[in-house]
Amino acid sequence: MNRRSRGREIALQVLYLIEQNPEIDPVEIDRFIARRVREPWLRGLVERALMRDRPDVPPKTIAEMLDRRLKSIEQGIRAGEDRSAGEGELAELARAIEQREFVKGLFAGVRKNRPRIDKIIGRVAENWRLDRMAAIDRNIIRLGVYEILFSSNEVPRKVAINEALELAKRYSTAQSSRFVNGILDRLPASLADVPSDDEAETETKTAESASLDPSGRESLDRGSDRSIDS
């Protein structure tokens, strides 16, 4: 499994965790993600390697030096720099930080856009209310919608759908992957094609007006009268 696929898996776990426990402390979420990307363990490896190579430097100073180095790496990743190259413990730790930031970006993006994401799902999920979906399926679909329509990572639509299907196969049922695919496949081509709330309301009112125009009511009334008379 590549790092991005693993990151989506962790993001799904976080979304599910938050839905089941809305009052969870954000600090606990950060710790959860760090453990999942093995950041504390890798940091320990790097610190021990530095202390081995620099026995004359106090452990506290080593920790402070590493903190500054990791802060620089983190800032670079957030600025869009690729820190995935290189070998050794420090390079592996840099990749873990990159994965952590990817995870946080996914789940934060879903949470920020969740009201609109849920409305989009409601429009394309025929005969299925969001609250009737399995919690895992619901969050897999939210993650897929975010990556397809909202994310700035420019994930190809096919890739985002395939990643969602893999999550459904891994964490849900065999039927779930078909269900998830059916919904994501009906998404519009881009966010620009999604009607705003005002546009959707106008479309609904227009449809209602068309189904209840004066001539339609008149013919319906006459038909009712005939059926009663007979």
Q: Residue 70 burial by CB count (10 A; 0-12/13-18/19+): exposed, middle or buried?
A: middle
CA atoms of 97 and 71, how far apart (whole Å): 10
CATH value of 113-193 in 3.40.50.300, 1.10.940.10, 1.20.810.10, 1.10.260.40: 1.10.940.10
Dump pLDDT digits (tens) for 137-194. 999 999 999 999 998 777 899 999 999 999 999 999 878 999 999 999 999 877 777 7
Q: Report residue 197's pLDDT band, with 50, 70 and 90 as the boundaries.
A: low
More confident residue, 162 or 81: 162
Structure tokens, 88: 């050794």
For 147: left if phi > 0, alpha if psi spans -120 to 50, otherwise beta; the answer is alpha
Residue 208: the pLDDT is 39
Residue 153: the pLDDT is 75
pTM: 0.78
Task: Count CB-CB contacts under 10 A for residue 56.
Answer: 5
Residue 188: the pLDDT is 85
For 86: left if phi > 0, alpha if psi spans -120 to 50, otherwise beta; the answer is left
Residue 71: the pLDDT is 85
**pLDDT beyond 90 at 75:** no
Is the separation of the CB atoms in 141 and 187 below 8 Å? Answer: no
Residue 84: the pLDDT is 67
Q: Which amino acid is at 141?
A: I
Section 27-45 average pLDDT: 92
Section 62-75 average pLDDT: 86
Q: Report residue 5's pLDDT band, with 50, 70 and 90 as the boundaries.
A: very high
Domain ranges of the chain: 3-110, 113-193, 197-229
